Amino acid sequence: MKIRFLSALILSAPLLGLAVAPDALAPQLAGRRPNIIFVLTDDQGYGDFSCNGNPILKTPNMDRIHDEGVRFMNFHVSPTCAPTRSALMSGRHEFKNGVTHTIFERERMSLDTITVAQVLKSAGYATGIFGKWHLGDEDAYQPDRRGFDEAFIIGGGGIGQTYPGSCGDAPGNTYFDPVVKHNGTFEKTSGYCTDVFAAQALKWVESVKASKPFFAYIPFNAAHTPLQVRPEDEARYKYNVKDGKVRKFFGMLANIDDNVGRILTKLREWKIETNTLIIVMNDNGGTAGCEIYNAGMRGKKGTAWEGGTRAASFWRWPGAIQPGDCDALTAHMDVFRTFATLAGAKLDATVEKQVEGRDLTPLLRDPNSPWPERLLVTHVGRWPRDGAPQKFGECSIRNRHYSLVRVKDAWQLFDLTDDAGQQIDMAGLNSQMANRLSVAYDKWWAEVTPRLVNEHQQGPAVNPFKEEYWKQFDGPGPNNVPPGTFKPSVD
């Protein structure tokens, strides 16, 4: 879709946030057109970073991005994989893209959704994705149809995962030497998946960096299950982690951190470090590592508690932004408008109507900039495949200081200022706030229900990734392997 740009960026004020005019507060950043490298990890929790207090796991390279950039300390994502990716790509709540699950056709991002990649491409950026897409495996939903010039991806929600219908990866795939779909053609790679994705991203960046600014989206599938890890990475924690599952998980994260280090080294080697914004973020609450450290939060992946939605969000751009903590209530849906502002892209009326997230550039310039009150809604979704959408499934709505969480058949209110672990229900003592948030939730549900376009959809009889794979390699069979190998360079 061609994006038409207006002469000024007009910010809307939807239910989930009031507008902040970027050009008035951050003129040094708006339109600077940096290269953007966006690293998104899978199932790493907020507590799975040494810079966030983990007592065992070491993540020195991600810590460096934390230490040298703006870190959003109250940043929130969705409780599971595809929903977060949908909000990042669209700038609005995932339900408004029809994404209410990670499988059963409910992971497909609606085709009328305009992506941030489309906006950046129309603003003159080269755009590439390297890793996990998870927003639809049928051709029309694929990233090469949604604004990405370069697509180097796996299928479904993870390497080797397949579910009935449209969501699934190439047959027999594993984290070692995975088959990827590279610009529409399947290729057999050589190496560990995280190393392969990072190496291909760097190879592509090297090919485009001299001609135009670039957006490299690197959504690693690690450290999602199955916990397939290089033995040497697991061995890093053999002496201080007894639980084998956690040991593998930490080893996978250590490997990601190594690759972040390789990216940082290349940026300096290519002398583009001061014109490159690099971001590290995780996609939902933690999993295996929560038993070690969860930063005092209640809940984990797949819940509407703080432990299911609070994420790390580190933004490093040497010479343009100064290191600092930002405590403002921020979210994944804010990434879209922020990237557009940085790229100098002026959003047309259609995109303005879609994007409900805010512009973070004022906070990148000054983490203490004014930040008006806002509301964020979390809904886990994942109701039964043949059931009606559940308004009061596991859900929550919060502002800066209070979180209203649905527990069984009633709302519970938590004062996050004094009770960050969400242990003391204040609904009876502060009924005015509880009612205010409850009414706002009712309004939100009425807004999203017309957009739940994937409910009761029937997927294809044959998984599209498998069907295309078999078509390329002459029919189904578990031992079909593409000829030749793709050999990454990761030094």
Domain extents in the chain: 34-365, 390-451
Residue 321 vs residues 31, 359, 365: alpha-carbon distances, Å: 14, 15, 6
How many alpha carbons fall within 13 Å on the CB side of residue 422? 23
Report the predicted TM-score, pTM, of the whole model to 2 decimal places.
0.92
**Residues facing residue 233 across a β-bridge:** none
Which pLDDT does position 473 carry in this prediction?
87
Residue 357 vs residues 38, 331, 350, 382, 447: alpha-carbon distances, Å: 18, 8, 14, 23, 16
Strands 324-326 and 330-331: unpaired
Tell whether the torsion through CA atoms of 245, 246, 252 and 255 is positive or negative: negative
How many angstroms separate the CA atoms of 376 and 398, rounded?
Answer: 5
Residue 277 and residue 342 in contact, taking contact as beta carbons nearer than 8 Å? yes
Q: Give pLDDT tens digits along the chain (491 positions).
A: 333 333 222 223 333 433 334 344 444 899 999 999 999 999 999 999 999 999 999 999 999 999 999 999 999 999 999 999 999 999 999 999 999 999 999 999 999 999 999 999 999 999 999 999 999 999 999 999 999 999 999 999 999 999 999 999 999 999 999 999 999 999 999 999 999 999 999 999 999 999 999 999 999 999 999 999 999 999 999 999 999 999 999 999 999 999 999 999 999 999 999 999 999 999 999 999 999 999 999 999 999 999 999 999 999 999 999 999 999 999 999 999 999 999 999 999 999 999 999 999 999 999 999 999 999 999 999 999 888 999 999 999 999 999 999 999 999 999 999 999 999 999 999 999 999 999 999 999 999 999 999 998 989 999 999 999 999 987 665 545 454 444 444 44
How many angstroms separate the CA atoms of 72 and 61, rounded?
Answer: 17
Residue 299 vs residues 265, 285, 295: alpha-carbon distances, Å: 36, 8, 11
- The CATH architecture assigned to 390-451 reads 2-Layer Sandwich (3.30)
How many angstroms separate the CA atoms of 289 and 291, rounded?
Answer: 5
The 3-class SS string of the chain reads: CCCCCCCCCCCCCCCCCCCCCHHHHCCCCCCCCCEEEEEEECCCCCCCCHHHCCCCCCCHHHHHHHHCCEEECCEECCCCHHHHHHHHHHCCCHHHHCCCCCCCCCCCCCCCCCCHHHHHHHCCCEEEEEEECCCCCCHHHCHHHCCCCEEEEECCCCCCCECCCCCECCCCCCCECCEEEECCEEEEECCEHHHHHHHHHHHHHHHHCCCCCEEEEEECCCCCCCCCCCHHHHHHHCCCCCCHHHHHHHHHHHHHHHHHHHHHHHHHHCCCHHHEEEEEEECCCCCHHHHCCCCCCCCCCCCCCHHHHEECEEEECCCCCCCEEECCCEECCHHHHHHHHHHCCCCCHHHHHHCCCCCCHHHHHCCCCCCCCCCEEEECCCCCCCCCCCCCCCEEEECCCEEEEEECCEEEEEECCCCCCCCCCCCCCCHHHHHHHHHHHHHHHHHHHHHCCCCCCCCCCCCHHHHHHHHHCCCCCCCCCCCCCECCCCC
Q: At what angle do helices 244-269 and 60-67 cross, to 10 degrees?
A: 60
Residue 72 vs residues 66, 161, 329, 442, 491: alpha-carbon distances, Å: 9, 32, 8, 29, 31
Q: Let me know if the fold of 34-365 is the same as that of 390-451.
A: no
How many angstroms separate the CA atoms of 195 and 491, rounded?
Answer: 10
CATH superfamily of 34-365: Alkaline Phosphatase, subunit A (3.40.720.10)
